[in-house]
Amino acid sequence: MARFWMAALMASLLITVSGARAQYDGTGDLKIDKPADKEDAASTPAPQGAVVLFGGQEADLAKWTAMDGKSAVNWIVTNGVLQVKGGNIISKEQLAGHFKLHVEFRIPYLPNRHGQDRGNSGVYVQGRYEVQVLDAYHNDTYKDGMCAAIYSIEPPSQDVAKAPTVWQSYDIEFQSPKFENGKKTEPGVMTVWWNGVQVHDHTKLTKDCTPGGRGGDTSQPGPLMLQDHGSPVQFRNIWLLPLE
């Protein structure tokens, strides 16, 4: 009987592992509009002066915590890639002032899911302002919730999505809100390049926190938060460069 259960367990594990791999092994009969959609976005090395938040090593997990700010993260590091698993994570590094954030991500092929359930995650600047991660390739959803939207504030000016399983990139220039005598005088401002194409241009952040964010005092710095929304989205090469 013990052998039977052990064999059943091993078979179950093999199915689970092969299923997870299959989500990145190909895109089946998905219609590809042009060859470039199957080409990874160029990876950008961290420049001098940048703070590397994830550089591909399992040791980099020590730079992050679970949402309580102290527990170890459950996300998986394999072959230099960080994969969503077991809740949102936040960086120990606090994002303040004026900076550039670089994030590379890829979305699994989930043909049986649709809309917001298809490869959903998010990059929350200061833990408050989400740049949406979602499979936008032949997958319709509401415009201010599509991939590269500043969620619930502004959709991207154009759709430059890569096919699922292909590496994509965000470059986010962020200016924190400005305050005088405890009162906000200027909102935060965000400019976003998606796969090298500018899709937001000095967008004013009209909310103190987009849905799903951590909130908090917007006059204070906040961490980078990466979202677990139930899809095994992957990340790599995450760095932060302070700007003047």
At the second CATH level, the architecture of 50-242 is Sandwich (2.60)
Percentage of the chain surpassing pLDDT 70? 91
Q: What angle do CA 114, 198, 141 make, to 5 degrees?
A: 15
- Reduced to 3 states, what is the DSSP secondary structure of residue 18? helix
> Cα separation of 188 and 184, whole Å?
10
Write down the pLDDT at residue 7: 38
Beta bridge partners of 200: 192
Beta carbons of 208 and 218 less than 8 angstroms apart: yes
Q: What is the pLDDT of residues 48-90, one digit of tens each?
A: 999 999 999 999 999 999 999 999 999 999 999 999 999 999 9
Write down the pLDDT at residue 244: 84
Beta carbons of 123 and 174 less than 8 angstroms apart: no
Half-sphere exposure for 190 (CA within 13 Å, toward CB)? 28
Predicted model pTM? 0.91
